[in-house]
Every structure is written in structure tokens, then in C-alpha cells.
């Protein structure tokens, strides 16, 4: 199988865009997400030309692909203004809202003027929700029926309007008086019961699972994942249906959050864009902030070291092991932090479990520290005995100091690393802001103090 | 709203399990994933008693919940053997396979004997696939129809068998002669076309998207996510349908992979179990391996420092800034690694893009290093001028050395951090094995050498 890159597909589409037959052939087996992906590789003018050449139905589908986000806004500038209105009008409501979120505020009124009054109103409602909430990712195209309908009536409605809705696999039953959501039935349930039954009679008796418009999208993802739903309804305070969040939006959410979490754990702001698409200046901005903050905190190590300068001058051999013992604390801390961040995100742990974790991480850290301590001790004694390097007459004391310091530093690292996400959550931050470099920096200063204190206790009267 | 913890629900269920009325009331609004979650909080004997008290249908649903994995095996030991067979028999095929994967090999034959011959055979087929492949997460319960059927025949079949299949929203059309998969139609499409049409006439003309049994589950997740599918068919070399992977399995996969990625990026083996459920010994095992490997590599810093011991003895002031400059390299490296790991996972970058990244990370690193260099330089000059600390008569040279070393170390950190995932991928490892501590360790040794080399060049003849 020959693998064709998206760059090649993009160039091909652009080359043939003004010959309908060749374009038809080039489109061949391509699916809309593939076309959207290829358009991202083209400059906006070129992408707009390909878009204009596509059959209208296909153009709408391509423009509806979340893959095209961040590019649609640039492409639309180059599309014939007379065609922009119908194109936006035909998009699904959640993608319309996404598009308008990208448009600079000063251009919004001009673009809003191209769509119908009802679309404009729907858009203004959707745009008031933050993009990381249920309201920000929901769509307003769903199937709703009154609670006095029969299964047969519901199925007839679906076969009429089904093609135009985001999903038909969940049908929302509302009270005809209050419009409140009272029941949800699945299309599967509708198909497997007698057609004259009332829709309220089928499916689960429990009140339907719902979220509010301001519910965090991560929480929506957790609900859909836990309860194996294809969509979850978003309701207001009167239980009226505002929209639904579908499982494919939730998958996009999960993948985005995963990228954010890894980047933040790496010690930077989330990029919010693919690596190759972000400008050099933006890249520096996203990275310099945390790097400077970490650097300024790490300066405390210089301050700590200044206090021990006399000891270092007297026994330079002590300095040799500073990077080794310090980094071990950071490493064990980074392990503990990654464990707790995920356990909190998955709700395996609650804030009030912090002391149970502390009681677990301290002994874990002591054991891990002892393992490293023994290795460190052995290394010094071995190097001395094998005459690889001479640490002076007091090498046994030095080895003991390094070994014991490691026990303390690794234990402290585990404890601090595991408590940091709890602390962040407690003071109202996202626990996932605790990055590996953040923990390492936190542990470094204390690590130095532990190292020199242990060394001072053990080497006093000999080396120091 | 009062939040009831799963521990409370668990205790309540256990307390009332021998009174059917009270049990019914306690179950009330609970959904099966909630019951499964509560059972995890009970000791296996107690969970088995609750299971035995549940109506059979509900017991099967609870046992079918992926939430119960890793506990089912222990619970089943305490369930009346006469009831175990029917329970397993009624589970969905993918969960049956999951259960048997957890059973110790010596107990498998005894448990296999409790199910029917056809289930046994289906199980043995599923069990031959690795758990992280499409075959390992697929189910064998799907709706398949011959290609000469009409829409009406298809819909009739669905209303008869629909309740027993994992999903009815995708219907698989096979060639009656060869059994090869030729087409996939969605239930939505079936419902919105005339009922006398042939099933081959409806839906997309493109050949259906498929995966092989050995396809990595992450790749399956990527496909389902990109093409917004509810399920993807798994086929063999003759294009015969082996099973399907549904979107809810994919969500579970994404969440699991996310946990693994964060834990591995934190510098440890993935736990593969919730934090509170893993034994102390297993926790040590999962963490000690990487911690020791990192420790042994970091020992090179001691070796590097030994080479510079004369310089340190002559100018102990140099040692003061070792932790500061070293950690900056690790921090910028950790940022770059997190960026590249995600870009590779999302297929935004290919292996052959490595040089484009190198050409981007080097200037990024130089700019970031210069920012930190200026801060570092300023700090030393400021502390000296404000008489906070005296770095001796050559403090300007020292400040210059620290500043320049930072430029080099941060640039090297960015470059090394971004190249590491490519290197791992090139030699056949998962790029996500590159953890923050791994990068820091890699950069530390080189950072020391850069620092002392720059210091030697600048301070030769004065301090050194």
C-alpha cells in the first residue's frame, strides 16, 4: 500500500480544482476528514479555491469537520461573499459557534449579517458559553418529541428529519406543557418494542442523566465515558433542553485535554494548536513564562548553596554529589505527582484523601530512597576500593552521608510530589498544573538543605 | 444535593442484601456503573453476596461493566458455582474475554468448563489477541446481513435481535458467497430511505473503513475519533468480519492510555490499576526500576564533577550555580519532549520531520536561554551591587560565564528534549517512553560540561 501524504493530496486537489472531472476523480475515495486535513496544508487562498470548486453538499461537510478549526476563519476571507452565507447556514450549530469563536470580534457583525435571523439568534445563545463547558461544545440539533407520543409517531419523525440532526440515536421526550425534559429513549429501544406503546412506557424508569450548560467539558466526558452514552442532554434550571453533547465531541475533548495535560506536565502552557502551526513568537511566549518562573524559584538553590559555601570550600568532594542527590528527589517527586494528578482526574481520589496518600507515599519514598542510598553508598566505596577515584581518607563517612541523604531526599520528594496536586486543588487551581519541573524545583532547594545537614552531622570533626 | 460516596453505597448495599425489598429500594436510582463502582469498595466475599442477591438480569449488566475489571475475578470465586456459568454466558463477548484474561492460567480450564461449547470457542478466539490490539478490545456481537437484502429485511432483523447486540447503529453487509465485508450502513440511513431499496444502494459508495485484529488500539481510537464513527469493523485477510470495536471501548482506551502516558512521562512504569488498589510491593516495583536506571545514569554527573574538582576547589563560587544552570536545561528539555511526544502521537509529525524540528527547537532554545541568561546575569550583578552576597572581585566575569552557559544549556536542552522522542521511535520504542526525568538526566551531564567549559574559557587567568 502506497502511503500518500496529506501534503500530496493537498497539492493534487489544488492542481485539479478548476477541472470538475479531474477534481471528481481526485476526490475519489477521500472522506471528508481527509479533505479537511489536506486543506490545512494549503495557504488559505488556495484552500478557498478548492472549497469553491467542491459540490456544495461536500463543501459544507468539509467545513463542518472539527479538523479544520483554526483554518476556517482564514479560508472564509477568500471565499466569494455570496457563497459564505449559505455555507455557514448549512453547517451544524456547534461548528458554526466554533467558527465564530475564531473570528476576530471586529469582523463578527459582518459575518453574522450573512446568516438568517434564526441562525443568528441560535449562534448568539451558543456563543455566550465558555468553550470548555458543556454549553461550549453542545449542538442544538437533536430529536425531541412530546411525552404523549407513541413509538410509531417517534419513528416516523426520525425517518423524516433524521438526516438533518446531529444524532438520532437518542430521542428526548419533553413535557408538552412545560417543555421540561422528562425521559430519554434510545433508537434501539424504539425499534425493539411494539409500535403502539407510549414513549414514556419504554426504556429505563430512572430520571435521565443531564448536565448544565456551565458543566466543565471534562466532567461531561467523564459522564459519557462512565455511563457509555452516545449523547448527554444539556438542560437549564427549568429542566428545558438547551442542547446535547455527542460522543464524538467528547472524544475530541479527551484528545485535546490529553495534549494539554502532557504539555502542562512538561512545564509549559498548553499550545492550543499543532506544533508546526504555531508561530515562533507564540512558541516562546508559551514556554518562557513557566521557564522564567521555575528559574526564579530555582535561584533559591544558589541562595541555599551560598550558606554552605564554607563547607564546599573545606570539602569540595561534597559538591561532586550535589547533582546526583538533588535529581533523585526530583525524579521520585515527578513519579508521585503524575500518579496523583491522574488519580484526581479520574476521581479515584478526593481532596480529603490527602492524608491517606501521605501515609502511603512516605514509606514508599523511604524504601525507594533506601534502594538508591545503598547504590550510592556502594558506588563511592567501590570507586575508592578499585582506585578509580579517591574521595580522601574519610570516604566511608562521605558514602554514609550520601546514602542517608538520599533516603531523606527521595522520601521528601515522594511526599512533596504527592501533596502538591492536593495543595493546588485546595487553593482552587487545576491539580494538573503541577508539572515535573515544578516538583523538581520545589524539591531541589529542600534537597540541598537535607544533603548539607546530613553531611554536616556525619562529617563534623572530620571533613567539615 | 447531598453527595453520597461510593463507600457509603457499598456498605448500604451489603447491609440490605438479604432483604429483597430493602435491596430494591437501595438500588433505586443507581445505574449499573454506579453499582459496579460500589462493589469495588467491598471485599470480594461481600461483593459476591450482593451480586447473588441482585436480579439475574441486573447482575449480568453489573458484571458486564468495564468498571469492575480486576475485581470480577476475585468476586467470582465467592459466587455459587452453579450460578457462575449462566452469569458468564450472559455477559458480552468482549467482557467475557477480559474476565478470562484476569483469571490465573491454572484456573481457566475450570471456569471454561462452566460455559457452553460455542461460548468457549468464541472465547478462545478472542483470547488469542493481545489486550492492546483491536482484537483484544473487539466484541463479536454485531448485526450482519447479506448484501441481497432490502432495507425492510434489515430493519426487521434489528427489531428482533437488537436488544442482544452491542450496537445496532452500524449494520455490516457481507457477500453471501464469501462472507467478505462489502458495505456498512448506519441505522440512521436505513430509517431515512424507502424500505424496498437494496441495502447496497444506500449510504456511502466508498469501501468501508476497517482495521485488522492486530491493529494497535491507539490507532483504532485515532480512526474512530477522526472519522466520527460509532464502531469500526475488524476483518481478517479475506475481509471476513471478526468483530467490531465500539466507541465506548475506544473512550475507555483513550482514558487508559492517557493515564499510562502521564505516568510514564512522570518517569515510571504505568501502574495499570487505580492508585489505592495497587499493593505496596507492586508500587515499589513500578517505580524503583526507572528510578534506579535514572540514578545510575545521573552518576555520570559525579564522574563529570570529579574532572572539575580542581576548578571547584579553586573557585567554590562556581559550585553555587550548578543546580540553577543544570535544572534550566532539564526544564527546557522537558517542555520540548512533551511537545514532540504529543505531536507524534497525534500524527502531526512523522519520523522524517526530525530535522524540521531540530531547525525550530535550536533557535527557540537560544532565545529562551538568552532570556534566562539575562536574568541570571542580572541576579549576580544585582546581589553584588546591593551587597547581599559577595562573589569576589571577578563577579562580572562570573555573571558572564553563568549567563552564557545558560544560553548553551537551555538551547541544548530544547534540542536534546525534542530529538529524544524521535530517536526512541527510530530504534523501535514508544516515543512516549521519553519522560521528563529521563530528559533531565540526559541534559544534566552535558549541562555540567557546558557550564565548566564556558567558565574555564571566561575565568581562565582570573578565578581559574
Interface of A with B in 348-387 (CB under 8 A): 348-349, 353, 356-357, 360, 363-364, 367-368, 371-372, 375-376, 379
Where exactly are the structural domains of chain A?
6-128, 143-254, 275-459
- Residue contact B188–A247, C-beta within 8 A: no
Question: How far apart are the CA of B127 and the nearest CA of chain A, in angstroms?
Answer: 24
- Residue contact A295–B372, C-beta within 8 A: yes
Confidence of residue A355 (pLDDT cuts 50, 70, 90): very high
Question: How far apart are the CA of A76 and the nearest CA of chain B, in angstroms?
Answer: 23
Interface of A with B in 90-129 (CB under 8 A): none
Three-class DSSP category at B193: coil
pLDDT of residue B3: 60
Looking at the partner chain, which of B191, B287, B319 has a beta carbon nearest the beta carbon of A312?
B319
Q: What is the mean pLDDT of chain B?
A: 90
Is there a common fold for A143-254 and A275-459?
Answer: no
Confidence of residue A2 (pLDDT cuts 50, 70, 90): low
Q: Of the ranges B129-138, B314-323, B353-362, B376-385, which one carries the lowest mean pLDDT score?
A: B314-323
With a pLDDT cut of 70, the percent of chain A lying above it is: 99
What the block records as the C-alpha cell of B181 is 465485508
Q: Is the pLDDT of residue B214 over 90?
A: yes
* Count of CB atoms situated within 10 Å of the CB of B205: 8
Interface contacts (A, B; CB < 8 Å): 364
**Residues of chain B positioned with their CB less than 8 A from the CB of A271:** 339
- Residue contact B268–A338, C-beta within 8 A: yes
Predicted confidence (pLDDT) per residue in B100-112, tens digit? 988 888 888 888 8
Interface of B with A in 155-174 (CB under 8 A): 155, 158-160, 162-163, 168-169
Question: How far apart are the CA of A66 and the nearest CA of chain B, in angstroms?
Answer: 9
- Residue contact A306–B295, C-beta within 8 A: no
Looking at the partner chain, which of B288, B312, B332 has a beta carbon nearest the beta carbon of A291?
B332
What integer is the mean pLDDT of B237-257? 91
What integer is the mean pLDDT of B213-222? 92
- Would an 8 Å CB–CB cutoff place B288 in contact with chain A? yes
- Give the residue carrying C-alpha cell 413535557: A175
**Residues of chain A positioned with their CB less than 8 A from the CB of B254:** 251, 254-255, 258
**Considering the entire predicted model, what is its pTM?**
0.86
Candidates B40, B442, B287; CA nearest to A338 is B287
Predicted confidence (pLDDT) per residue in A93-135, tens digit? 888 998 998 888 888 888 888 889 988 988 888 999 998 899 9
Three-class DSSP category at A189: helix
Question: How far apart are the CA of B319 and the nearest CA of chain A, in angstroms?
Answer: 7
To test the contact with chain A by mutation, choose from B169, B211, B226, B301 the residue with the greatest count of A C-beta atoms within 10 A, namely B226
Predicted confidence (pLDDT) per residue in B118-168, tens digit? 889 888 889 999 989 999 999 988 999 999 999 999 999 998 888 777 788
Residue range A275-459, CATH number: 1.10.357.20
Distance separating the N- and C-terminal Cα atoms of chain B: 70
Interface of B with A in 188-207 (CB under 8 A): 188, 191-192, 206-207
Q: Is the pLDDT of residue A263 over 70?
A: yes
- Half-sphere exposure for A50 (CA within 13 Å, toward CB): 30
- Would an 8 Å CB–CB cutoff place A139 in contact with chain B? no
Question: How far apart are the CA of A106 and the nearest CA of chain B, in angstroms?
Answer: 32
Q: Is the pLDDT of residue B372 over 90?
A: yes
Question: How far apart are the CA of A303 and the nearest CA of chain B, in angstroms?
Answer: 8
- For residue A317, what are the CA distances in angstroms to A310, A320, A402, B68? 13, 5, 11, 55
Burial label for A432, CB within 10 Å (0-12, 13-18, 19+), is buried
| Architecture of domain B143-254 in this structure | Roll (3.10)
What the block records as the C-alpha cell of B236 is 481478517
pLDDT of residue B13: 86
**Angle B31-B36-B37 (CA atoms, 0-180°, nearest 5)?**
100
- Residue contact A437–B327, C-beta within 8 A: yes
CA distance B308 to B319: 10
Looking at the partner chain, which of A306, A323, A440 has a beta carbon nearest the beta carbon of B320?
A306
**Residues of chain A positioned with their CB less than 8 A from the CB of B448:** 323
- Would an 8 Å CB–CB cutoff place A133 in contact with chain B? no
Predicted confidence (pLDDT) per residue in B76-86, tens digit? 889 888 888 89
Helices (H), A201-269: 217-226, 247-265
Candidates A46, A111, A109; CA nearest to A73 is A111
Q: Is the pLDDT of residue A1 over 70?
A: no
**Residues of chain A positioned with their CB less than 8 A from the CB of B314:** none
Q: What is the crossing angle of helices B395-426 and B322-345, to 10°?
A: 30
Q: Is the pLDDT of residue B382 over 60?
A: yes
Confidence of residue B18 (pLDDT cuts 50, 70, 90): confident
What the block records as the C-alpha cell of A63 is 467545513
CA distance A4 to B48: 54
Looking at the partner chain, which of A248, A301, A319 has a beta carbon nearest the beta carbon of B228?
A248
Predicted confidence (pLDDT) per residue in A26-60, tens digit? 888 788 999 998 898 889 999 999 998 999 989 99
CB A238 within 8 A of CB A215: no
**What's the complex ipTM?**
0.86
CATH topology of domain B6-128: MgtE N-terminal fold (1.25.60)
To test the contact with chain A by mutation, choose from B92, B191, B271, B440 the residue with the greatest count of A C-beta atoms within 10 A, namely B191
Candidates B339, B334, B417; CA nearest to A274 is B339
CA distance B391 to B234: 69
Amino acid at each position: 500500500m502506497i502511503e500518500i501524504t496529506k501534503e500530496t493530496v493537498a497539492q493534487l486537489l489544488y492542481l485539479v480544482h478548476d477541472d470538475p472531472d479531474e477534481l471528481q476523480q481526485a476526490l475519489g475515495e477521500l472522506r471528508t476528514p481527509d479533505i479537511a486535513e489536506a486543506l490545512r496544508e494549503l495557504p488559505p487562498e488556495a484552500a478557498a479555491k478548492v472549497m469553491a470548486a467542491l459540490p456544495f453538499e461536500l463543501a459544507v461537510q468539509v467545513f463542518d469537520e472539527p479538523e479544520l478549526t483554526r483554518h476556517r476563519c482564514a479560508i472564509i476571507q477568500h471565499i466569494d461573499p455570496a457563497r459564505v452565507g449559505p455555507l455557514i447556514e448549512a453547517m451544524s450549530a456547534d461548528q458554526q459557534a466554533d467558527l465564530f469563536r475564531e473570528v476576530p470580534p471586529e469582523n463578527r457583525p459582518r459575518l453574522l449579517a450573512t446568516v438568517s435571523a434564526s441562525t443568528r439568534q441560535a449562534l448568539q445563545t451558543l456563543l455566550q458559553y465558555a468553550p470548555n463547558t458543556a454549553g461550549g461544545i453542545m449542538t442544538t440539533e437533536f430529536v425531541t418529541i412530546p411525552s404523549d407520543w407513541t413509538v410509531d409517531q417517534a419513528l416516523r419523525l426520525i425517518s423524516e428529519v433524521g438526516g438533518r440532526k446531529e444524532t438520532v440515536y437518542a430521542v428526548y421526550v419533553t413535557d408538552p406543557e412545560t417543555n421540561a425534559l422528562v425521559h430519554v429513549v434510545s433508537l434501539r429501544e424504539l425499534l425493539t418494542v411494539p409500535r403502539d406503546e407510549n414513549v414514556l412506557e419504554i426504556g429505563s424508569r430512572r430520571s435521565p442523566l443531564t448536565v448544565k450548560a456551565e458543566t466543565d467539558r471534562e466532567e461531561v466526558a467523564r459522564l459519557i465515558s462512565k455511563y457509555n452514552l452516545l449523547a448527554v442532554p444539556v438542560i437549564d434550571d427549568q429542566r428545558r433542553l438547551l442542547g446535547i453533547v455527542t460522543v464524538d465531541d467528547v472524544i475530541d475533548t479527551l484528545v485535546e485535554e490529553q495534549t494539554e495535560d502532557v504539555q502542562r506536565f512538561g512545564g509549559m502552557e498548553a499550545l492550543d494548536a499543532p506544533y508546526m502551526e504555531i508561530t515562533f513568537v507564540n512558541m516562546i511566549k508559551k514556554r518562557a513564562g513557566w521557564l522564567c518562573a521555575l528559574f526564579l524559584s530555582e535561584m533559591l538553590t544558589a541562595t541555599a548553596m551560598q550558606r554552605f559555601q564554607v563547607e564546599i570550600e573545606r570539602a569540595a568532594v561534597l559538591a561532586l554529589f550535589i547533582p546526583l542527590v538533588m535529581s533523585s528527589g526530583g525524579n521520585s517527586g515527578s513519579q508521585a505527582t503524575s500518579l496523583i494528578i491522574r488519580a484526581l482526574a479520574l476521581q479515584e481520589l478526593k481532596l480529603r484523601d490527602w492524608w491517606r496518600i501521605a501515609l502511603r507515599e512516605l514509606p514508599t519514598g523511604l524504601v525507594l530512597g533506601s534502594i538508591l542510598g545503598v547504590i550510592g553508598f556502594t558506588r563511592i566505596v567501590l570507586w575508592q576500593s578499585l582506585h578509580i577515584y579517591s574521595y580522601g581518607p574519610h570516604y566511608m563517612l562521605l558514602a554514609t552521608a550520601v546514602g542517608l541523604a538520599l533516603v531523606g531526599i527521595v522520601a521528601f520528594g515522594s511526599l512533596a510530589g504527592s501533596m502538591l496536586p492536593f495543595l493546588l486543588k485546595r487553593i482552587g487551581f487545576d491539580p494538573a498544573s503541577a508539572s515535573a519541573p515544578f516538583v523538581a524545583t520545589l524539591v531541589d532547594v529542600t534537597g540541598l538543605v537535607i544533603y548539607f545537614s546530613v553531611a554536616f552531622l556525619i562529617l563534623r570533626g572530620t571533613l567539615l
